[in-house]
């Protein structure tokens, strides 16, 4: 039985899926077989936020963990805006108009200025110091 021609177009996809499934299963199975399995009591202890669990769930705790997480998200978003901007700024296919490049440059400059002012404010207030 002859294979229809259009099915041969899907052969690279099937090969890619096969290789990825084999590698994925290999990366899951091999470490389980060769990794040491002798956890100590410290490793088996409960942890969630970097401090020991309390008896009462209504006790006060330090919000420094959340501030660091929020600052990480802000910096991560800032970088995610910078990559596409840097790619499109001097791309001749998207806009050879110098006005576009100047507008794009100064709009990102304003964005980074607002980010820097917020970062300096957090630094001045001591939010980045671990207490």
Q: At residue 123, does pLDDT exceed 70?
A: yes
In a domain, 114, yes or no: yes
Residues with Cβ within 8 Å of residue 51, at least 6 apart in sequence = 61, 62
In a domain, 6, yes or no: no
Phi, psi of 45 (to 5 degrees): -70, 160
Round the average pLDDT of the chain to a whole number and report it: 81
Q: At residue 98, does pLDDT exceed 80?
A: no
In a domain, 3, yes or no: no
Total domains present in the chain = 1
In a domain, 120, yes or no: yes
In a domain, 4, yes or no: no
Q: At residue 129, does pLDDT exceed 90?
A: no
**In contact, 114 and 74? CB cutoff 8 Å:** no
**In contact, 51 and 35? CB cutoff 8 Å:** no
Portion of the chain with pLDDT greater than 90, in percent: 18
In a domain, 82, yes or no: yes
Dist. CA 105–CA 30, nearest whole Å: 49
Q: At residue 13, does pLDDT exceed 90?
A: yes
Read off the pTM: 0.47
Q: What is the pLDDT of residues 66-91, one digit of tens each?
A: 777 888 888 888 888 888 888 877 77
Range of the domain at 91: 61-131
Q: Radius of gyration over alpha carbons of the chain, in Å?
A: 26
Q: Which among 120, 100, 105, 108 has a CA at the least distance from the CA of 78?
A: 108
**In contact, 85 and 104? CB cutoff 8 Å:** yes
pLDDT at 110: 92
């Amino acid at each position: 039985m002859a294979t229809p021609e259009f099915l041969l177009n899907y052969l690279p996809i099937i090969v890619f899926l096969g290789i990825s499934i084999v590698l994925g299963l290999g990366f899951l199975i091999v470490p389980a077989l060769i990794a040491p399995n002798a956890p100590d009591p410290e490793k088996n202890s409960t942890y969630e936020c970097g401090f020991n669990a309390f008896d009462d769930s209504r006790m006060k705790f330090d919000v420094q963990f959340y501030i660091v997480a929020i600052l990480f998200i802000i910096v991560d978003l800032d970088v995610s805006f910078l990559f596409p901007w840097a790619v499109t700024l001097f791309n001749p296919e998207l806009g050879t108009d110098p006005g576009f490049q100047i507008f794009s440059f100064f709009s990102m400059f304003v964005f980074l200025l607002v980010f820097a002012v917020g970062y300096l404010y957090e630094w001045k207030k001591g939010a980045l110091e671990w207490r």
